Structures are given as structure tokens and as C-alpha cells.
Amino acid sequence: TLAAADPRAAGRRTLTCAEDYLWSKLSIAAAVHDGARGAPAGASSSTGTKGALPDLQHLLAHTYGAKHFAAGAPGGSDLLFACVLVASLQLERAVAFLCSRGSGANGLRSDGLHLGLALWANGLLATTPDHPSAQSGGEGSRGSASLEEESGALVVEPSGCVAVALPALIEAHATGVMADSLPAALRYAWLIVPEDRRGAVAAHLLVRSRKHLDVLVRPGGSAHLDFLSGLARTSLALKVADILERGGEAKDAAQLLLAADEPTRALSLSADDLSDALHAAPDSAFATSQFEGNHNGLPRAGPAGRASSEAVKEASQASQALLDTCATHGIAHTSPEARTLAALLAAARCLSEAGRGQHEATLAAADQLGIVPHHAADTDACTRRFGALRPQVQRIVPRVLARVMSALQALHAGAHNNGPERQRLEARADAVLTVAGLVGAQHRLPGPDNYRLVSVRAQMNS
């Protein structure tokens, strides 16, 4: 007896709970079902007849739905509705519904995710890599969207078939647990399929946590990733490095590239970063309070100059540390990339010493570049060496030559009682001016620093 029996009759066999009702309906349905998970309600079977099971699923999920079974309904609860969906083989909707019920101590999102993972691991859950925003009409067009559809966890295809956006659910859960346990968050992320999305999610979690160097570079960090192979850790380090590079964090990106056995990329990235910092820094970035406005010719440093100075300092320190690490381990320290970085460091030292008014140190640092002549006979060789430099260094050379000329002029002024020394300094200044003209003409370098050279050289004769 189902509902027609007299409930007062002795020995009655009436249904007293939703579970009994579901089992009774399933036992008499004699459903003709094609066996496809997530088939749309009311779909025709292979025999062309309406499927009783799909009709029952639609009745429970839409006609009655959460408003009848879930929390808020008389005698209802969210777990009851989830059980109704599971008992009627609507596994995708059950997972999505639980995930729609919030997180935290009283939420069911974690339960929904773990139910989905268990079903998926056993091949019982239809999933899609699509983002939930890709969901469209289908079965939901038969009525208003259900709670689980509105939550974004369920994707309804145009055919009406449903699937769970499991990668998105895992990503959201991993992000939520990251604050409490980064290793747990990474383990969840590594469950995502496909593989490229798995790595991308894990990489973003590491960057967001700001512990990417602790986990991927520093000693002991591999304990967080003991579930990964060495190859997978290397791949993850490269993905994190790419994210950091795009975000302008060249220092950390270079360390990760070196840890991933990509020294050439690490050195090249560090060189680009230092070159950008040197090129963007105004003259005031290299001025110090002791010499501001003095005969070094540098303007007083304002907020922009101080910020640029800090950027140059950080890039220089990171570059030097990278070169030292490469030299310690014998990694590509004689490569073109390493030589480029070393040249940029020499240029940075030259500009810094000029800012402090250390004229001899300015010239010594410039000499390390190999493009600053001492005599007129050196000009052709210096010009050729300039042509062999990479663009990251070439664009800094005019500024370096300008500082060299200022240093020569300052030394010239200090040697007023030493005729031979003044002549030597004048001859070297002429050679520097010749090189500046040659490289400026041949390589079309910007002219403001070259104009300064001419002006400073003229002052030496005044």
C-alpha cells in the first residue's frame, strides 16, 4: 500500500519517510534507461519510450526540489535532499547541491567536494573541465534554475545532460584551506584534471601564499611536496617563475629558474631586470646627501629618485647573489648571459660611485666594461667591444660615459698644479668623446648624455 491505505489501520504498511517513498517508486518504475549518467529528465530510451527513472528524477529535483526536502521545509534538511538526489541516482546534482550550502563549520561544501571526489575516483560522476560560467540551458529550461545550478557547481549542457565542474570546486576548496595548511591545499590542487590546469592552480596557490621560495628553493621545502616527483616539482617551479616574471618579480623568478636548472633563463631575466632599473632611474637616483648638487652634477634626489635608487639596489644585490651562486656551483658563469649580467653590475657600480663623488672608483668600475678608452689608440677596439655587447648593456653605456667624463673633469680640476696629469686626463677625455660619437652614430643611441660629454669636455679647457 502506498498512500491510499487508512493510516489508522492496524498493521498498516504506509510510507513514513522519504527513503521508503524513493525505494518504492524505484521498485515499481520498471525504468527503461540507457545507462548514461546525467541523462536529461524525460529523455527517450533506446526503445523510443519515455524513461520512468528520468521522470522520477525530474519530479524530485524540480517539481519538489529543495523547497520540499531541504532545510527550511517542514521536517526537511539539506542532507535529506542530498540523500534524495543520491537515491534517485542524481549524483551530480547531489554533489553540486552540497557544495552550494556554504563553507565553514555549518556548511556542507567540503562534504560535497569529498563526495564528488569519491564518486569521480570510482567513475560514477560526470565532470567537466569547463568553468561554471559556461553553463547554458537544457533541463533547467523546464523551470527556474535550481540551487545547485545557481551555485555554479553544476554545468547543464544544451542537451540537458548535467556534469559537475569538479576542477573549479577543487580549486575553490584548495584556496579556502590554504591559510590553514599550504601542503593540504597543494594536495587538493594536484587532484585536478587536466594536468596543465592542475599545475596552474598549484602555482597560483604558491604565489598567493608568498611561500614559493620556502617550498621550491630553500632547504626542507620539498617536504611540502613529498607527493610529487622531481620532474613535477621542476615543472611547478617553472610555472611559478612564469607567473612571477609576468608580475614583475624578477628576483624571485630568477631564483626559481635556477632551482629548476634553467641558469641561462635566470641570468637573462636578472639582466633584463637590472638593465630596466638602471635605464629607468633618473640621475637623482644615484645622488647621495653628501654630494647632492655638488661638482658631481647630479640633482637632489626626490621621492621618485629614492624609489628608483632602491630598485637599482635590490636588482644589483639579486644579480650579484645569482652570479655568486652560479660561480659556486660552476653553472654557466662564463656564458654570454653571465658576462652580460657582470657588465651591468659594473655599470651599476660606476653610476653609484659617481653619485658618491668617488671619481677614481667611477673610472675603475667603468674600465671593467672594456669600452672606455685610455688613449686615442684604444677607440677602435672599444667601439668593436661595444658592438659585441648585448642591448641590455648598450643602452646604459651613454650614461656611463657621461659619468666617466664628469669624473675626468673633476680630477682635472683637482690637478691644477700638475701639467702632465692634466694633459693625460684631457687626452683620455678626447678619446671618450670619440668613442661616444662613434657608438652613437653606428648604433643610433639617444643623444642627451652625448651632449653632456661635449659640454663637460669644454669645461676642462675653460
Longest CA pairwise span in the chain (Å): 130
- Tell me what pLDDT residue 41 has: 43
Q: Where do the H-state alpha helices sit in 107-229?
A: 109-121, 147-150, 166-177, 182-189, 195-209, 212-216
* Cβ proximity of 195 and 124 under 8 Å: no
Distances (CA, A) of 130 to 126, 165, 354: 12, 6, 58
Q: How far is residue 352's CA from residue 364's CA, in Å, rounded to a whole number?
A: 12
In three-state secondary structure terms, 44 is strand
Kind and range of the H or E element at 329? helix 303-329
Distances (CA, A) of 194 to 167, 197, 200, 307: 8, 6, 10, 43
Handedness of CA 127, 133, 139, 144 (dihedral sign): positive
DSSP state, residue 73: B
- Tell me what pLDDT residue 130 has: 66
How far does the chain reach from its first CA to its final CA, in angstroms? 118
Q: What is the DSSP string of 132-164?
A: GGG---SGGGGSSPPHHHHTTSEEE-TTS-EEE
- Tell me what pLDDT residue 438 has: 86
Residues (pLDDT < 50) of the chain are: 1-5, 30-49, 134-144, 150, 289-295
Backbone angles phi, psi at 319, to 5 degrees: -65, -40
- Tell me what pLDDT residue 282 has: 86
CA angle 388, 389, 392 (to 5 degrees): 150
* All three cell numbers of 379: 677607440
Residues 314-369 pLDDT 10s: 999 999 999 998 888 777 667 899 999 999 999 999 999 999 999 999 999 999 99
Q: How far is residue 404's CA from residue 103's CA, in Å, rounded to a whole number?
A: 64
- Tell me what pLDDT residue 346 has: 96
Q: Which amino acid is at 237?
A: A
| Cα-based torsion angle of the residue sequence 217, 219, 225, 231 in order, rounded to the nearest 10 degrees | 60
- Tell me what pLDDT residue 443 has: 66
* Cβ proximity of 110 and 103 under 8 Å: yes
Handedness of CA 227, 229, 230, 236 (dihedral sign): negative
b/e per residue 320-356 (b: at least 16 CB within 10 A): bebbebbeeeebbbeeebbbbbbbbbbbbbbbbbbbb
Give residue for cell 631586470. Answer: 273
Kind and range of the H or E element at 332? none
